[in-house]
Amino acid sequence: MDAQGRGRADDIDPADQWVLNPDTGDYELRLQNSAPQSAVPGPRSRRTAGATAPPRGRTAPGRERKGTPQEAPEPGVPGPRRRRAPEGPPPGRRKGRTKKSRGKKILLWTGGTMAFLLVGTSTAGYLYWKHLNGNITSVSDDGAGTGGFSKDRAINVLLVGTDKRTGDGNDGYGDSDSPGHADTTVLLHVSKDRTNATAMSIPRDLITDIPDCPTTQEDGSTKVIPGTLNTRFNESLGQEGRTPSCTMRTVTALTGVKMDHFMIADFNAVKTLTTAVDGVDVCLAKDIDDPDSKLKLSKGEHSIQGEEALAFVRTRHSVGFGGDLSRIEIQQQFLSSLMRKLKSNDTLTSPTKLLKLAEAGTKALTVDSKISSITKLRDLGTELGKFPTKNLSFTTVPVVDNPAEKVKATVVLQEAKAKEMFALIKDDVSLTAVKQEKKKEKAAEAARLKGSKADPADVRVRVLNGGAVAGSAQETLNWLQLEEGITKSENAGNAGATLKKTTVEYAPDQADQARRLADLMGLSGSAMKPGKSVTNSQGLPAITLTLGEDFKGAGVSLTTPSTAPEDVEKSTADKVECAK
């Protein structure tokens, strides 16, 4: 800016403010009592706004031109840069100055270019981010979920593959004129500490009860779709207008595990996702030629994608026993391979593949409205990606053939093993050999159970209901007095607060009584809470048994195994298995 623009004009002729610097050969804008200004670039075709070049042939006041006369610049144009004499730099000019100045110019141009690219990239990134958000299809969970995942607790996501005929080239698959079923369903449980995960498949032909399902309609109203007893699990989606929220409710009713989110994939999801990562590796223990799924592969290892990948996950007549359970096994092998590919450096370091994955995933998946943006999906994906592949276990709900059928077409729960499996997931117990708690805590809990146990007749206990079904305290009291010989017991009514888990509180000198009660109740060391002595209705010291929401009935053990039983059928995602 000129002197007038800086408020220092006074009576100074602007032309007198341009001074030739003999060290640089540049004209500089020199204001009164000011230090030399930065050099002005070489000749310009136009005058800089607010700055006046020195007139032809004129020198600044009090200064003489040195050396031979210079050709004056054109009116309105700063004088040309002085050329370096052939014999070297002029006096007072340091060697290397031109190189340094040139380096600064290069840095300036590079920085400017980078800034432009960053601006361009961020703008393009925003537009692409907005594009991906536009790809996402979401459906309300109708209150069937928890309201969304949290970083401080375990995560449960319902993954559902539907057989609805959507997308190009899928006319030959699934049931014609059908809104689709819950054809493939996986409950993905990720542990609270993110060290491990369990993927439990639910057979589509499992006979179960579908509860009433409040469902949001297109006009925004809510309609309750009546439940159905003793029907196939896959009827929980698509049929009778049921949405994924109904499948969530059905899974919760079946397992006791409430879902945080759901993701629905159609046939195209398999094709596009496998293509995005340039195929997944699978292994066959024999040649397969299945005209129903259109899978034709030779024995050995193959990399499959697109239509071939879809045929692989749909085949069942050519593997195992030829039923849906055999298909579940091959799907688990496929998912293991896909997980390995997604976590591989080959994928994670390839911007092209990551962009393809983002495009394919947002187009192919339908999610619940709680994760209907790229930001929320990214945050969920970050949590789901923390566990190592070797600690992702695949299993299937324990079932047996339906005894009510002559021709075996459906399955029913194998009650004892199924309940055990559901308890492992609810209690965040890994199916892999991952330590769930610190050794110190485990040792302390175990120590509480060690030691002498009082005779039942010497145990004095108050029973409170802290979350169990109504009547549980009296039921437990009757059981303790009539079957276990703990006659010094009483029903103390309802507890002041609801507890998730049953506890036994006792004073230090009552530890032997607490151990006896814990043994009878099937309680773990974590249920035993050392504390202060309390008195019963007769004013005598007693221990306190508070029945929590986990109470299953008088005499039913409340101990959850710390490790999965040896006979639980499972596989892990880090191992390659060949379909048989």
Calculate what percentage of the chain has a pLDDT beyond 70: 69
Amino acid identity, position 304:
I
Quick one: 268 and 375 in the same domain? Answer: yes
The last residue of a domain, from among 392, 426, 460: 426
16 lies in the same domain as 124: no
Which one, of 70, 52, 50, lies nearest residue 4 by Cα? 50
Pairing of strands 411-413, 460-465: unpaired
Amino acid at position 263, single letter = M
H or E segment and range at residue 247: helix 244-255
- Do 187 and 71 reside in the same domain of the chain? no
| Interval 192-203 mean pLDDT | 92
- Type of residue at 79: G
Determine, yes or no, domain membership for 433.
Answer: no
CA–CA separation, 185 vs 319, rounded Å?
A: 19
Sort strands 295-297 and 288-290 into parallel, antiparallel or unpaired: antiparallel
Q: What is the mean pLDDT of residues 465-477?
A: 94
Same domain flag for 173 and 209: yes
Domain that holds residue 83: 1-92
SS3 294: coil
Res. 334: pLDDT tops 80: yes
Confidence band, pLDDT 50/70/90 cuts, at residue 283: confident
Higher pLDDT, 324 or 509: 509
pLDDT band, very low/low/confident/very high, at 166 (cuts 50, 70, 90): low
Helices (H), 50-208: 97-135
Question: Do 157 and 113 reside in the same domain of the chain?
Answer: no
Instruction: Mark whether 274 and 237 lie in a shared domain.
Output: yes
Q: Which CATH number belongs to the domain containing residue 319 in this structure?
A: 3.40.630.190
At which of 60, 92, 124 does a domain end? 92
The pLDDT value given to residue 560: 55
Q: How far apart are CA 530 and CA 443, in angstroms?
A: 15
Under 8 Å CB-to-CB from 366, ≥6 apart: which residues? Answer: 137, 138, 139, 244, 263, 264, 265
- Lowest average pLDDT, out of 295-304, 312-321, 380-389, 485-494, goes to 312-321
Mark whether 342 and 454 lie in a shared domain: no
Cα distance between residue 197 and residue 298, in whole Å: 32
Round the average pLDDT of the chain to a whole number and report it. 77
Is pLDDT of 100 > 90? no
Inside any domain, residue 565: no
Cα–Cα distance, 74 to 307 (Å, whole number): 74
* Residue 161 counted as domain residue: yes
Please check whether residues 268 and 345 belong to one and the same domain. Answer: yes
Structural domain includes residue 578: no
- Confidence tier at 402 by pLDDT (50, 70, 90): very high
Q: Report the CATH number at residue 484.
A: 3.30.70
Instruction: Provide the pLDDT for residue 191.
Output: 93
pLDDT at 137 over 60: yes
Of 135, 165, 186, which residue is a domain's last?
Answer: 135
Inside any domain, residue 263? yes
Confirm whether 564 is domain-assigned: no
- Domain identity same for 519 and 403: no
Residue range 300-323: mean pLDDT, rounded: 82
Q: Give me the number of domains the chain comprises.
A: 4
Whether this model's pTM surpasses 0.85: no
DSSP 8-state secondary structure symbol assigned to residue 163: -
| Confidence at 326, pLDDT banded by 50, 70, 90 | confident
Residues 6+ apart with CB under 8 A from 367: 136, 137, 138, 139, 261, 262, 263, 264, 377
Same domain, 237 and 169: yes
> Is position 386 within any domain?
yes
pLDDT band at 54 (very low <50, low <70, confident <90, very high): very low
How many CA atoms are closer than 13 Å to the CA of 378, on its beta-carbon side? Answer: 8
pLDDT tens figures, 15-35: 455 555 656 555 555 555 444
Determine which of 116-120, 419-423, 454-458, 476-480 has the lowest per-residue pLDDT on average: 116-120
Do 171 and 107 share a domain, yes or no? no
Interhelix angle 351-364/267-276, nearest 10 degrees: 170
Across the range 86-103, mean pLDDT stands at 46
Q: Looking at the structure, do residues 302 and 389 belong to the same domain, yes or no?
A: yes
pLDDT at 406 over 60: yes
Structure tokens at 125: 């990134």
Residue 92 reports pLDDT greater than 60: no
**For residue 402, what are the contacts with CB-CB under 8 A and spacing of at least 6?**
207, 408, 409, 410, 411, 412
pLDDT-derived band at 145, boundaries 50, 70, 90: very high
Name the residue with higher pLDDT: 182 or 350. Answer: 182
Give the Cα separation of 290 and 381 in Å (integer). Answer: 35
Between 101 and 290, the higher pLDDT residue? 290
Once rounded to an integer, what is the mean pLDDT over residues 151-172?
76
Number of Cα atoms under 13 Å in the Cβ half of residue 131: 10
pLDDT at 156: 97
Q: Is residue 76 one of the residues assigned to a domain? A: yes
